Amino acid sequence: MEVVVREVSHHYGANCALNCVDLALKPGVTMLLGSNGAGKSTLFSLLTGLQKLTRGSIAFNGSYLSTARSKIMATMGVVFQQSTLDMDLTVKQNLSYFAALHGIAPHNALSHINGLLEQLDLTAKLNTKIRNLNGGHRRRVELARCLIHKPKLLLLDEPTVGLDIASRQLISEVVQTLAHSQGVTVLWATHLFEEVKPQNALIVLSKGHVVAQGQCSALLKQYQQRDIEHLWQRVMQEAR
Amino acid sequence: MYWRCFTGVLSREILKFWQQRTRLLSALIRPLLWLFVFAAGFRSTLGLSMTEPYESYILYEEYIVPGLAAMIVLFNSMQSSLSMVYDREMGSMKVLLLSPVSRPFLMGSKLIANTMVSAIQVYIFFAFSLLVDVRLPLLGYLYALPVIALLSLFLGSLGLLLANYIKQLENFAGVMNFVIFPLFFLSSALYPLWKMREANEWLYQLCAFNPFSSGVELLRFALYEKLATVPLIVIVSLTVATFALAVRSFRPKASKGHFG
C-alpha cells in the first residue's frame, strides 16, 4: 500500500503539532525518528482517523478516509504507544475480540491466532490474562493483534519502548520479515537508533516539520555520517 | 462482517460482566435492599390508592418493583457508559474505533450488549421479588422485555452522550450524582406522582417532566399487560434523539483527547 501525506498541518489550540508535512510511504519499512513532542503521535492519530484532518490530505492507495474509511481500516494494523489491551481478558479473548471487529470468522481467527502466537513465541500464553503477562509479552500480543487481519499497512508507534533486547529483536525481526516477504508498508516510530536498518526508509520529524526524508543509506551518504545517531545529531543541528 | 462484529462486542461485554461478578452482586443488592428493607418499613406509612394500571389495592412492595427494575436498567446503563470512559482512558476504545465497521453500528452493538446485561439483571430481580409475594401477570414479564430493551437503549445513549464529554473517570462520579440520583428520585419509581403533588406542586412538575418517570410508567404498565401510549412516544423519541446525538459526538474531532 502507498500512503501519501500532503501538506498536513494540525494545531491544538495555539500549539502547532504538525506543520505542512509532506511524506510518502511505500511497501517496506519506514522508520520515523523524532524526539518527544515532534508530532509522531499526532501523525498516527491522523493516519488512523482517530483525529479529524483539518488541513492537507492523506491518501491510501489513492483513497481517502473521508470516503473509503471501511476499506482503508480493513487493511490497517496499528500498535499504539500505550497498551490498548483489555487487562481482564486472556490473550485469546483479546485477539478473538479484535478478529471479530474485523469480521473474521471464529474458526479462521483461531487458526490465525495460533500461527501468530507461534511466530511470536507466545503459544503457551494463549489462555493467560493480559494482567499476568510481563511488558514484553504484552507488546508481542499487541503486535499479534494488529496482524490478525493480514494488514497491508502497519502503523507502529514505539512498539518496543521499555522492552528487553530479546523482545525488541523478535518484534523487529517479525516486522522486517513481513515487510520484505509480503510487501507490507510499515511506519515505525522509534527513539532507538539501533532499530533503524540501512535498507529502511527514514523520516526525521522535529517540532512538527519533516527535516529529513529518504533511504537511510542514501541519507547517511548525503550527510556524510557513519551511523544513524550521528546522522540524527547532524539533521537536528541543521533543523535548529 | 457486521454480524461477527456484533457478536464480538456482545461476547466481550458478557465476558467482562461475568468476570466482574461483584458488579452483578452490587447491581442486585441495591434494589433488593429497597425491596426487602425500605419497602417493609414504609409499607404502613405510604397508603396507595387504586390508580392505573392496578385494578385493586396493592402493597407498597408491588408498587416499587417496576421502579426498582427501571433503577437496575438506569444504573447498569450508566455503569456501561462509565466503562466507556475507562476504555478511553485505558486506550481500548481506540481498538473499537479502528474497526472497519461504521461507528454508529459499533455504538449500537455496545448498547444492545448492555441491554442484554440489563435484562439478565432485571429478570434475576423479578425472581427475588417472588420472595415478597410480588406476583405479576405471567405475560407481563414477557411484555416487559421490549420495554427494558427500549429503556436501556435510551439510558445507554444518554450515558454515551455524557461519557463523550467527560475527560476523566473521576469526573464521571460527579455526573453519576448529578444525573442518576436526580433522575431516580425525581421519578415515579418509589412513590406515585399524585403523592408528590400533595407535598409540592413544582416538585411534582419536575417529576412529571422527568423522562425516567415515563420509562418507569411504561414498564409498570407493560408488567400489567397494558400499553402506556404517551410514555412510549416520549421514550421512543428520546431514544432516537439521544442515540443520534451520541453518534454525532463520537465523530473524530480536531482537538486532542476525545479518543484517548
Segment among A72-76, A228-232, B80-84, B244-248 with least mean pLDDT: B80-84
Give the per-residue pLDDT at A166: 85
Give the per-residue pLDDT at B259: 35
- Quick check: B105 and B250 in contact, CB under 8 A? no
Q: Do B100 and A71 touch (CB under 8 A)?
A: yes
Longest dimension (CA), chain B: 59
Q: Do B100 and A74 touch (CB under 8 A)?
A: yes
CA B66 to chain centre: 12
Q: From residue B214, how far is each of A189, B110, B147 by CA, in Å?
A: 53, 24, 11
Which residue type does B11 have? S
Within-domain flag for B136: yes
Evaluate if residue A132 carries a pLDDT over 50: yes
Kindly state the average pLDDT of the residues B67-93. 82
Segment among A22-26, A134-138, A222-226, B39-43 with least mean pLDDT: B39-43
Any A CB within 8 A of B230 CB: no
pLDDT band for position B260 (cuts 50, 70, 90): very low
Evaluate if residue B252 carries a pLDDT over 70: no
- Chain B residues with CB under 8 Å of A138 CB are none
Q: Do A80 and B91 touch (CB under 8 A)?
A: yes
Give the per-residue pLDDT at B178: 83
Which residue type does B174 have? G
Q: Using one digit for the tens of pLDDT, what is the confidence trace for A64-95?
A: 988 899 999 999 999 988 888 988 889 999 99
Smallest Cβ–Cβ distance between A101 and the set B99, B252, B253 belongs to B99
Within-domain flag for B61: yes
- Quick check: B114 and B13 in contact, CB under 8 A? yes
Q: Using one digit for the tens of pLDDT, what is the confidence trace for B200-216?
A: 899 999 999 999 999 99
Residue A173, min C-alpha distance to chain B (Å): 24
Evaluate if residue B148 carries a pLDDT over 80: yes
List the domain boundaries for chain A: 3-75+153-239, 88-150
- Chain A residues with CB under 8 Å of B97 CB are 49-50
Within-domain flag for B74: yes
Any A CB within 8 A of B22 CB: no
- Quick check: B227 and B221 in contact, CB under 8 A? yes
Question: Rounded to the nearest 5°, which phi and psi values hold at A228?
Answer: -65, -40
Evaluate if residue B194 carries a pLDDT over 90: no
- Quick check: B239 and B153 in contact, CB under 8 A? yes
pTM, two decimals, is 0.82
Buried b (16+ CB within 10 A) or exposed e, B41-69: eeeeebebeeeebeeeeeebbbbbbbbbb
Give the per-residue pLDDT at A3: 95
Give the per-residue pLDDT at A203: 94
Residue A209, min C-alpha distance to chain B (Å): 19
pLDDT band for position B50 (cuts 50, 70, 90): low
Kindly state the average pLDDT of the residues A40-49. 91
| Percentage of residues of chain B with pLDDT beyond 90 | 36
Give the per-residue pLDDT at B172: 66
Any B CB within 8 A of A103 CB: yes
Homologous superfamily (CATH) of A3-75+153-239 is P-loop containing nucleotide triphosphate hydrolases (3.40.50.300)
Residue A158, min C-alpha distance to chain B (Å): 15
Q: Do B94 and A80 touch (CB under 8 A)?
A: yes
By CA distance, what is A47's nearest residue in B? B98
* More confident call, A145 vs B94: A145
Q: Do B101 and A105 touch (CB under 8 A)?
A: no
Total domains present in chain B: 1
Residue A63, min C-alpha distance to chain B (Å): 14
By CA distance, what is A142's nearest residue in B? B95
Boundaries of domain holding B28: 2-253
Residue B13, min C-alpha distance to chain A (Å): 10
**Beta carbons within 10 angstroms of residue B169's beta carbon:** 13
Within-domain flag for B260: no
* More confident call, B250 vs A75: A75
Q: Do B91 and A82 touch (CB under 8 A)?
A: yes
Any B CB within 8 A of A150 CB: no
- Chain B residues with CB under 8 Å of A99 CB are 8
Cell of A200: 529502511
- Chain A residues with CB under 8 Å of B94 CB are 48, 50, 78, 80, 84
Any A CB within 8 A of B12 CB: yes
Within-domain flag for B26: yes
Kindly state the average pLDDT of the residues A22-35. 92
Any A CB within 8 A of B44 CB: no
CA torsion sign for A134, A138, A141, A147 is negative
Within-domain flag for B259: no
Evaluate if residue B71 carries a pLDDT over 90: yes
Average pLDDT, chain A: 90
Kindly state the average pLDDT of the residues B44-61. 73
Q: Do B94 and A96 touch (CB under 8 A)?
A: no
| 3-state DSSP assignment of residue A148 | coil
Evaluate if residue B258 carries a pLDDT over 60: no
